[in-house]
Structure 1
């Protein structure tokens, strides 16, 4: 089901990986080491890019790993990611300008991500994106560190972000911005629409099929849509 966009959003929730930052280089490098070290064939990059965004344990299970294999892979992945992969990353063109424009028109800006919150906060701080968020680093919402069998669904992260930022109050008009189907579905579970971004890691048609209200091709187009 597609939820229509409000005419004037008051709260914008932004995904991190694939929406604000291009985290794929560090994520893919860490995944390659994880698969190799636990003795499994390393999938091609097209498959590995599907890991960027959803909860990590869920992605390993979808790749056919047993619970024990997934736990081992997550341990190796974290070692590699924390050792440098996390910051093999960059901010997409136009993102600072987008966040500045949202601030200028009084829109509340928070991050709602499936990346574990400790990682998300480090990435946001490293690139100075906290300066553009409502509440600074307190405007970053993500799940706790996960294992292979436990992860907080993104719908719960979005619910927390909405509650903390006032986006669930009467009169608020909240919008999710993300690049993957789980962004769209988690937002819909909270009764809010999603603007999909085409520069992220979703496959062709993924966002539309999930029910995104609209898909934009650049941060400039997104800025115009949200601040018109």
Structure 2
């Protein structure tokens, strides 16, 4: 089976790094930080910056640039692997599944993270949107993965913590499995049409073996 994994909120807890970069960008622009920022994890940056910056294209692009500056310098290191993920990846490899990452992070930001993960080599490919994109593009990236691996929709599964992951799966008639340890909620994942919900990495491995 082709197992496509989201990165943030699924394989790694990247809240500290992402929110640190968001705050840095807003500070650089003299914009007050919202009290609640956790919902910024998952959607494309431009989508999240737009309301705070009055949908001003130039200021949004500047904010994204400031975000990327800090992320490139230090933010990419500010994460931790969720407990049980490494063992789960090992089980999937041993079972002969093909693994790849489909993330909303630009590839140039996601690649160093994956390369430094102890199980990074388990992933055959990495799919990320172009840095200038304002869209999640999960559906497009999943479609590209199916084509690259020559897999039929029924031979693949998309695993993630937000509705963007499930939306992309549904658009490609691929099973979408929501994980409950990330940044999304059970209600969000169920509403998006998740095929199943995994309560922890061990449970996810069981679902994929079924």
TM-score, normalised with respect to structure 2: 0.92
TM-aligned CA deviation for residue 121 of structure 1: 0.8
Contact 1:11 1:109 in 2 (8 A): yes
Contact 2:43 2:136 in 1 (8 A): no
- C-alpha distance in 1, partners of 2:129/2:104? 6
State the SS of the aligned residue for 1:146: coil
Q: Kindly indicate whether residue 80 of structure 2 is the aligned counterpart of residue 90 of structure 1.
A: yes
Higher helix share: 2
- C-alpha distance in 2, partners of 1:78/1:36? 14
- C-alpha distance in 2, partners of 1:146/1:167? 29
TM-score, normalised with respect to structure 1: 0.86
For 1:166, the equivalent position in structure 2 comes to 150
For 1:143, the equivalent position in structure 2 comes to 129
One of 188, 201, 205 as aligned partner of 1:219: 201
**Map of 1:1-228 to 2, 5 A cutoff?**
10-44=1-35, 46=36, 48-63=37-52, 64-133=54-123, 135=124, 139-146=125-132, 150-151=134-135, 153-168=137-152, 173-228=155-210
- C-alpha distance in 2, partners of 1:62/1:204? 26
- C-alpha distance in 1, partners of 2:186/2:157? 22
- C-alpha distance in 1, partners of 2:42/2:189? 13
1:166 to 1:128, Cα distance in 2 relative to 1, 3 A: farther
Contact 1:96 1:132 in 2 (8 A): no
Deviation string 1:88-113 (CA, Å, 9 cap, x unpaired) is 01111111111111111111111111
Aligned length in residues: 209
- C-alpha distance in 1, partners of 2:85/2:51? 31
TM-aligned CA deviation for residue 62 of structure 1: 4.8
State the SS of the aligned residue for 1:114: coil
Q: Please list every run of 5 or more consecutive structure 2 residues that lacks an aligned counterpart in the other structure.
A: none
- C-alpha distance in 2, partners of 1:97/1:152? 29
Higher strand share: 2
- C-alpha distance in 2, partners of 1:105/1:204? 28
1:186 to 1:99, Cα distance in 2 relative to 1, 3 A: same
Q: Please list every run of 5 or more consecutive structure 1 residues that lacks an aligned counterpart in the other structure.
A: 1-9
Which structure would you say has the larger RCO, counting Cα contacts within 8 Å and 6 or more residues apart? 1
Contact 2:104 2:138 in 1 (8 A): yes
CA RMSD of aligned residues (A): 1.7
